[in-house]
Structure 1
Amino acid sequence: MAVIAAFVLNAGLNFVLGLLIAKLLGPADFGRFALATAGAIVLNTVLFEWLRLSATRFYSGRVRADEPWIRHGLDRAYAVLALVLFSAAALCGGLGFDAGPDGHGAVLCGSMLAALGIGVFDYHAALARARFDGKLYFGLVAVKNVLAFAMMAGAAWFLPQPAWVLAAAGVSQLLAVLILRGPLRDPATPIVRVRMRETWRLFMVYGLPLIAANAVYQILPFVNRGTIAAQAGFAEAGYFALAADVTSRSLTTLGTALDLLLFQLAVRAEEQSGRAAAERQVAANAATVFTLLLPCAVGFWAVLPALQALVVPEAYRGPFALYATLLMPGLFCLAMMYFALNPVFQIRRKTMPVIAAAAVGLAGNGIGLLVLPPLLGGAGIALAQSLGLAGAGLWLGWRALTGPERLRLPWRDVAAASGASAAMGLILAPLRHLDPATALALCVPLGMALYGALVWVFDIARLRSQMEARFRPAHPAPAE
């Protein structure tokens, strides 16, 4: 529960912080900030993601005690890459700030620092989750969010240039790890260099295909935002970026929180009961993810007009709703790939199919960029992104769910979740046209109550059974 609580805190503060920075910077500078942030995420993915994914797959409480070379290999690899990235950031900063804090060199320096902070923080957060240390994970997330909110909002207020806000984002995450470095450490053990080399090879074979795919998915919004900026200016890129960020967080925050827990359960099932048990857990996880993410997408669509009127800064209204509506289907497909389909190949340690899916997505996005923007303008770019991600999701789903090793997905749960989400959407649709405050006040509780009731009655994804088992009082065995 601590993991879920930490993610609720993280999501809420990030949502507020994103809107605050958008307001303080304005559409044009926020467009530059969003483009640089997308670049930082790509850089973090290319450099560090293979190690973070290896930590979630190969590190655990048992490994911490019995196979210390896993942590040694991770720490050494992170240290080398972090030193290289920090040196490059220092070089860009030294050369770039002569042209002013809004110059390309300064923004590049800030992006590198942001990528460094994201990479180091995500790694240590993954270690805490893999150990099932919810208290440590919650503390790490809480400290990071307090520091990030104070430092990034302060930078946007006092030094309103994207470079300073990016640098504040990176430094705040590094400081959080530094503050909690004690409990994050493993017991000191001698380093076995032969084991370290074997460990690095294992990480590369497992993780590199995943980061290649993830890098493609991060490059797509980077390319699309850059295309909008080139065609319509940075202000339009800012409109696109805010809609993409808010929509993505509405769909991926819960998915990420679930994945943090569910994938570790699959890893533990494999350690305790073998590969077949892990496959069953992954199938159950996929059904749970679909059951909980689909109503999030439908609910976001239902409250979108109210959200735009009440929460979104005035300068972004209008384009925000258009872009969010067009981006939503693709971002839902991306969330399903990350949290339901990728774990199938991660648990099997056969991660090459995710690269092929990413290539399908990149090709679909590219074709869309050639055809749609001349017809629809910026809306065509958003639609191209959704078509590309939908194509990638369909291809990866076909690979996971067909063939002799296909995942045995509980299709009854998938159909039931789809029907329940459709019913919720039909009932909420007329409320979209009410006064924004009234619509938001009615849609959220009504949608949750309706969908929750259907899940409970039909025990979709066995969520009712799991809740009853969790809270059922334990009865001692009768004395003989």
Structure 2
Amino acid sequence: MAVIAAFVINAGLNFVLGLLIAKLLGPADFGRFALATTGAIVINTVLFEWLRLSATRFYSGRVRVDEPWIRHGLDRAYLRLGLLLAAAAAICGAFGFGQGAEAREAVLCGTGVAALGIGVFDYHAALARARFDGKLYLGLVALKNVLAFVLMAGAAWFLPQPAWVLAAAGLSQFLAVVLLRGWLRDPAATFERARLSSTWGVFARYGLPLIAANAAYQLLSFVNRGAVASHAGFEEAGYFALAADVTSRVLTTLGMALDLLLFQIAVQAEEHHGRAAAEAQVARNAAMVFALLAPCAVGFWAVLPALQALVVPEAYRGPFETYSLALLPGLFGFAMMLYAVSPGVQIRRRTMPVIVAALVALGLNGIGLLVLPRSFGGLGVALAQTLGLTGACLWLGWRVLTGPERLTFPWGQIGAAASACAVMGLALAPFRALPPTALAVLVPVGMGLYGALVWVFDIAGLRTQITARLRPARTVAAD
């Protein structure tokens, strides 16, 4: 549970930090910062994501002791790619900062530093999760957030240029790993160079299709933010970026926390009971992910007017709600694809279908960009993104859930969760027109209503799991 707690803390602090950076930089510079941040994530995805995914699939507490060559292969691959990225960032910095921090080369340098920091932090966080070391993971996330607040907010205040804030973002994540490096180490073991190539081959066959797909989705986001800037200027790109970032975090933060916990449970099921048990666990996981993400999407829709009035900087109000509503269906479909459907191909180590899904998303998004912005301007770009992500989710779902080797999801449980969400949405709809103070009513009413339905009908087995966790504690107390 420490993993989920860490994600909740990380989401809340990132949300506040994002709003603070947006306020300090202003819409135009925040639009540039958001565009560069997306570029940093794309770089991180292309260079490092295949290794992070391999860490979550092949590394564990047992592997840490019995198969040290797995960690050796991960470390050396990260080191070589990290040095390459650091050299590229240094070259950009050498050419850029002499012309001022607003120069394109300086922004590229900051983007490279941010990508390197993200890569190093995500890798070590993945190692902690794979070892089920919740205390270490929680400490790593907490330290990173403290450093990010100090360094990024300080840079935005004293040096209000995107390049400096990007560099501070990368430095904060790198320093968190450095400060906890002693706890992140594995026991000393002999390095077996002969295993290095074969180990990298295993990582590549599993991870490269996944990172190719992830890179495509990041490219889609990058292109769309650039398209908004091209059609309506960087100020409009800042509106789009803030809405996209907040809406995405509402769904993907909890989804990622669930996925990293539930997927490791499926991997353990495979180790102890075989592939069929792992696939059955993946199907149960999908129902649980839907039962927890769908009410988040409905709840976000319900509180959006109040949220905008209370916490969104004044310069962003109006466009924030418009863009968020347009992006919400596609981002929900994207989250379901990543955390409910994609594990079905990951557990089988057959990850090529995710590339086709990404190509579907790019194709539909491209078609949308050719048509929709002409009529709707920047909003048309948001609609094009929703079209692309929804299409990708539907295609991958069809691929996983049909055919002779299809997975069977518990559709009754998923339907019950959808019905409970519809009831919650209908109950909350009248509150959306009330003043922002209605937020104090919306959140508890929505949570209480949906929670009651989940408890009465045991949706996705959540009541059973909660009572199973509480029962041992009660037994101990009775003794």
TM bucket (normalised to shorter chain) is over 0.9
Residue 240 of structure 1 pairs with residue 240 of structure 2: yes
Residue 139 of structure 1 pairs with residue 139 of structure 2: yes
| Aligned residue in 1 for 2:128 | 128
Residue 471 of structure 1 pairs with residue 470 of structure 2: yes
TM-score (norm 1): 0.98
* Separation in 2, partners of 1:179, 1:475: 40
1:334-377 Cα distance to aligned partner (Å, 9 max, x none): 11111111111111000000000000000000000001000111
* Separation in 2, partners of 1:159, 1:475: 58
| Aligned residue in 2 for 1:267 | 267
- The Cα shift of 1:391 comes to 0.2
* Separation in 1, partners of 2:242, 2:311: 12
* Separation in 1, partners of 2:131, 2:196: 21
| Aligned residue in 1 for 2:442 | 443
* Separation in 2, partners of 1:353, 1:472: 42
1:149-182 Cα distance to aligned partner (Å, 9 max, x none): 1100000000000000000000000000000000
Q: Which amino acid aligns with 1:192?
A: E
- The Cα shift of 1:221 comes to 1.1
| Aligned residue in 1 for 2:457 | 458
- The Cα shift of 1:195 comes to 1.3
- The Cα shift of 1:134 comes to 0.5
| Aligned residue in 2 for 1:159 | 159
| Aligned residue in 2 for 1:116 | 116
* Separation in 2, partners of 1:428, 1:71: 49
| Aligned residue in 1 for 2:307 | 307
Q: Which amino acid aligns with 2:187?
A: P
* Separation in 2, partners of 1:166, 1:464: 43
TM-score (norm 2): 0.98
Other structure's SS at 2:50 match? helix
Other structure's SS at 1:101 match? coil
Other structure's SS at 1:188 match? coil
1:295-350 Cα distance to aligned partner (Å, 9 max, x none): 00000000000011111000000110000000000100111111111111111000
Between 1:467-476 and 1:237-246, the stretch displaced more is: 467-476
- The Cα shift of 1:467 comes to 0.6
| Aligned residue in 2 for 1:249 | 249
Q: Which amino acid aligns with 2:447?
A: M
| Aligned residue in 1 for 2:342 | 342
Other structure's SS at 1:472 match? helix
Residue 80 of structure 1 pairs with residue 80 of structure 2: yes
Other structure's SS at 2:186 match? coil
| Aligned residue in 2 for 1:331 | 331
1:185-229 Cα distance to aligned partner (Å, 9 max, x none): 001111111211110000001000000000011111100110111
User: Which blocks of at least 5 consecutive residues in structure 2 are unaligned?
Assistant: none
Q: Which amino acid aligns with 2:355?
A: I
| Aligned residue in 1 for 2:409 | 409
Identity of aligned residues (%): 75
* Separation in 2, partners of 1:270, 1:145: 35
Give matches, 1:11-410, under 5 Å.
11-410=11-410
1:385-440 Cα distance to aligned partner (Å, 9 max, x none): 00000000000000111111111100011100000001100110010000111x21
* Separation in 1, partners of 2:322, 2:274: 48
* Separation in 1, partners of 2:100, 2:86: 20
- The Cα shift of 1:475 comes to 5.6
Q: Which amino acid aligns with 1:450?
A: L
Other structure's SS at 1:389 match? helix
* Separation in 2, partners of 1:106, 1:423: 51
1:228-247 Cα distance to aligned partner (Å, 9 max, x none): 11121110000000000010
Give the alignment's Cα RMSD to 1 decimal: 0.9
Q: Which amino acid aligns with 1:22?
A: A
Between 1:11-20 and 1:465-474, the stretch displaced more is: 465-474
User: Which blocks of at least 5 consecutive residues in structure 1 are unaligned?
Assistant: none
